[in-house]
A and B are shown apart, each in its own frame.
Chain A
């Protein structure tokens, strides 16, 4: 009876903070914040981190963690870039093949993670630390540390174009968020992910095939990295190992801030979206104020700690009553 109420509070706390942040930013930036350009800028920046966070979230719901999401994205991005370069002669086929290969590579790495976690039995944090290092390495070996750059306009559209004035990456993100939400709330696999995250022994004794669910979890996480990779190479107009490394820990932060339990079993896409918007509001607002982006990083950390402390205090209060 108590648990759902705490969960509700968490989202409420976050929503209040989001509104507060938005108001503060609007006041501090007197008129510059609510401009079309600023909002559009935010809409272009959010999706990369957003899609990666979805990939982190789904694994965290099963009680795991995926440290290899960035390495997977880079590996997939580099594969796609190599195909695009090799097939420059036939652009349409090139793009389709590149997309396919991108998802294939990221999906395979995801399945490999799933295999290590489910069948070999390695703790997720160590398994994905290993694959992170491994595929970072493979990416460096394949590119020899160089940048692959210069893609056709069609490719660039993915990360930079707009449809009816809405940035295309934002549409991709919304699509991913809806798909993830449906997966988690409306499918057997999604249902089982939450249950496994809470108690994998009980799911085993209920006839749920834990290993299959875990394989799918890491597959989905890998595919998120693949989609993020397409947006990334398009926005940077290049691919390289090591892009976006700083996103890794931020995705965990964003997921937890959005109410995903680091012990597994709980977390909704809506909470994560609110958390991503809050982080983006902070980042864009400070950017307009010409504050160093690193101060933004610091403030992200500060907000995170504050929210966790507030939640803890509410939690103990509720328990006492």
Chain B
């Protein structure tokens, strides 16, 4: 058996009566690439906090690290044993240079109170050499792409003697190519004997490089598997305890049906080109493609937030003014943004206020003032219709779970009775049960005659919820699939064949 770097037994953790972790055994070998998977709230971030010494486990735990046994690790212990965490937000200083960001940890740990810029330069160069990248050392980090920022964060972690590198959701903001570059770096670290722990709820990209995968569900370990034994279906089963069965969406389009949305030759430099698009009422059209394919740009264009430089769009035969969100919304277009927390919701404000934001115009008294009674009634009706579980409509949205938050966003738009509903990654970061109920809502809306576009990078999501799927790449639509006549594998290989 290979050398264990870290082994943990009987890890328990309770927060205010909630059992976050229940009797977990966990181990990482030297130079291993290990994945820790689980849905939101499965306890994976708590486990990482314990490994990195930010939190202490409850009594009775046993941790063996590098052959030394102890009950818990302190932050300093973890650093001394060479455990480095790269958080999802990367924890960089956007206002400082690459050089300084990389050397910041060393600066803070050094005995001297003075800065040696030459020394910092050396530290940064050495760290970058370890992962074989060259970034402009004097550039401000805010000017880098997400992928380069991630490399800065990894370089910073490598300035110390690292034995275990923990990466929290590293791939969410990266394009396929950038993910591949990242994985190459990780494989290289493995050769140097450095172990890597990935925390992710999206495993398909990592499964090829991982040695083992540990899956958590509701604070319990469902198992630790060699990655060769796993596939998407099995992972999902272990993560959720259930096999999600998709009911494919079929729609019979009346041949005489007027198209709902008809776009021709939409074009915008750096964004998208030659977009011809038709959506019929009652259709669910999926758009997929890798990050950076222009899907979100196109969606924003249809919503009036990213006006195309040329091309036209008609909704129900009327021309859409794509220069104004207000006009587009009035015409009957709704958009659920991917970044729910920033663009979709006002977290501090109440559920009721979030929902009525779009329908104030329809709820005025004859004096032009807001009709609070009718607004309350509308909110109550929508909350009921969508099954949003809330203590009170006056609670702040912040207090809701991810799934309920997304339902608030849906309610906000369903309230406007849109004709065309565009949803950008509507189930990202939502646990599986809530996911399928959101899909059900969407399908019901389509059956009532709404035209729907779902943008997603998960092929199953579009394939099993849409009647038609468009594939985008580099700003163009490169393929169209009838979902009843294709398979996941066929689509995946089509996309891969176009990825560079």
Contact = CB atoms under 8 A, between A and B. Distances in A.
Interface string A233-270: 00000000000000000000000000000000110000
B228 interface: no
Q: How large is the interface on A (under 10, 10 to 19, 20 to 34, 35 or more residues)?
A: 20 to 34
Interface in A220-241: none
Nearest to B398: A3
Interface in B342-368: 342-350, 353, 357-358, 360-361, 364, 368
B348 A191 contact: no
B396 A205 contact: no
A101 interface: no
Contacts of B394: 4
A12 interface: no
Given A3-B348, A195-B353, A201 B343 contact: yes
B337 interface: yes
Contact of A204 (B305, B360, B368, B392): B305
A186 interface: yes
B326 interface: yes
B344 A205 contact: yes
A202 B350 CA distance: 14
Contacts of B350: 4
Interface of B is mostly: mixed
Contacts of B353: 191, 194-195
B86 interface: no
Nearest to A199: B346
A265 B396 contact: no
B257 interface: no
B76 interface: no
Interface stretch (A30-38, A49-57, A206-214, A276-284): A206-214
Interface in A176-213: 182, 185-188, 191-192, 194-195, 198-199, 201-209
Given A2-B399, A182-B369, A194 B335 contact: no
B370 interface: yes
Contacts of A203: 346, 357
Contacts of A3: 348, 395-396, 398
B412 interface: yes
A170 B342 CA distance: 43
Q: How large is the interface on B (under 10, 10 to 19, 20 to 34, 35 or more residues)?
A: 20 to 34
A205 B337 contact: yes
Contacts of A1: 391-392, 395-396, 399
Nearest to B400: A1
B352 to A, nearest CB: 11
A255 to B, nearest CB: 18
A35 B111 CA distance: 69
Nearest to A183: B369
B335, B348, B364, B395, most chain A CB atoms within 10 A: B348
A206 B349 contact: no
B343 A195 contact: no
Nearest to B369: A186
B260 interface: no
Contacts of A194: 349, 353
Contacts of A198: 346-349
A191 B395 CA distance: 17
B370 A191 contact: yes
A7 to B, nearest CB: 10
Contacts of A266: 348
Nearest to B330: A207
B342 A201 contact: yes
B325 interface: yes
Interface string A1-25: 1111000000000000000000000
Interface string B387-430: 00001101110110000000000001000000000000000000
Contact of A187 (B358, B369, B396): B369
B396 A209 contact: no
A209 B412 contact: no
Contacts of B347: 198-199
Given A188-B361, A195-B357, A202 B345 contact: yes
A191 B328 CA distance: 21
B353 to A, nearest CB: 7
B358 A207 contact: yes
A182 to B, nearest CB: 7
A205 B305 contact: yes
A272 B476 CA distance: 55
Contacts of B396: 1-4
A155 to B, nearest CB: 33
A195 B350 CA distance: 10
B373 to A, nearest CB: 12
A74 to B, nearest CB: 34
Contact of B343 (A182, A192, A202): A202
A1 B335 CA distance: 27
B207 interface: no
B320 interface: no
A187 B370 contact: yes
B329 interface: yes
B325, B394, B399, B412, most chain A CB atoms within 10 A: B325
A314 B368 CA distance: 39
Nearest to A189: B360
A80 B325 CA distance: 41
A205 B343 contact: yes
B349 A195 contact: yes
A114 B241 CA distance: 55
A207 B369 contact: no
B301 to A, nearest CB: 14
B59 to A, nearest CB: 23
A269 to B, nearest CB: 15
A265 B346 CA distance: 10
A201 B364 CA distance: 25
A185 B370 CA distance: 8
Nearest to A266: B348
A203 B356 CA distance: 12
B343 A209 contact: no
Given A4-B394, A201-B342, A203-B357, A209 B326 contact: yes
B358 A206 contact: yes
A206 B357 contact: yes
B349 A265 contact: yes
B357 A208 contact: yes
Contacts of B392: 1
A203 B357 CA distance: 8
Given A4-B394, A204-B305, 15 more contacts: A1-B396, A1-B399, A2-B399, A3-B396, A188-B361, A192-B360, A195-B346, A195-B357, A202-B344, A202-B346, A203-B357, A205-B305, A207-B326, A207-B328, A209-B326
10 shortest A-B CB distances, which residue pairs? A207-B329, A186-B369, A3-B396, A1-B395, A199-B346, A205-B343, A188-B360, A198-B346, A206-B357, A1-B399
Interface of A: 1-4, 182, 185-188, 191-192, 194-195, 198-199, 201-209, 265-266
Interface of B: 305, 325-326, 328-329, 335, 337, 342-350, 353, 357-358, 360-361, 364, 368-370, 372, 391-392, 394-396, 398-399, 412
12 contacts: A4-B395, A186-B370, A188-B364, A191-B357, A198-B348, A199-B346, A204-B325, A205-B305, A205-B337, A206-B357, A209-B326, A265-B349
